[in-house]
Chain A
């Protein structure tokens, strides 16, 4: 299945784009998607420890099982205020 991924803040600089589309097997978890993304965007892999992950508008962890139509967002620690 195809998953749309959005990048925010300096994740856009690390990937050179603000979004990407990846194919993963049904039943894949966010962690599986991250491995695909880290292979495609090696600079993103270097920031893996500080990455925050959302599916839709909620935070999720690497264990979240992806569903068809999910939109995943990756971003660094937030800095509002």
Chain B
């Protein structure tokens, strides 16, 4: 399974990520998910979220999650970008792409990655009030 992981302060450029997509011949499903910073946090307007990561552990935990994906589903590729630092409301903080032969495993793997990330990957957020 091809893996690409980036934990970065750079803005997520979805168009560039899609442009670099490498489709394999027997892969019929590409799922991509974009997580965007909401302008409201617990009902209060915010300007941004400041993301903090324990970067080396975050990378390691993502790799362990990808190991699980590889064991559970026939997936050709996982690419994931998580932005850290200050991310303005309306901007993407997370981009995940999963490529698989069929939609069932692509959706399932993508859901699994995000659910496990929210359980295990040491990244935290601090809302910046408007």
Contacts and interface: CB of A to CB of B under 8 A. Distances in A.
Contact of A57 (B35, B52, B57): B57
Contacts of B94: 80-81
Interface residues of A, number: 17
B88 interface: no
Contacts, number: 59
A78 interface: yes
Contacts of A81: 35, 82, 93-94, 114, 117-118, 123
A59 B94 CA distance: 23
B117 to A, nearest CB: 5
21 contacts: A8-B124, A9-B52, A9-B124, A10-B124, A57-B57, A57-B60, A58-B57, A73-B54, A73-B57, A75-B124, A78-B118, A78-B122, A78-B123, A79-B118, A79-B125, A80-B51, A80-B94, A80-B123, A80-B124, A81-B35, A81-B118
Interface of B: 35, 51-54, 56-61, 82, 93-94, 114, 117-126
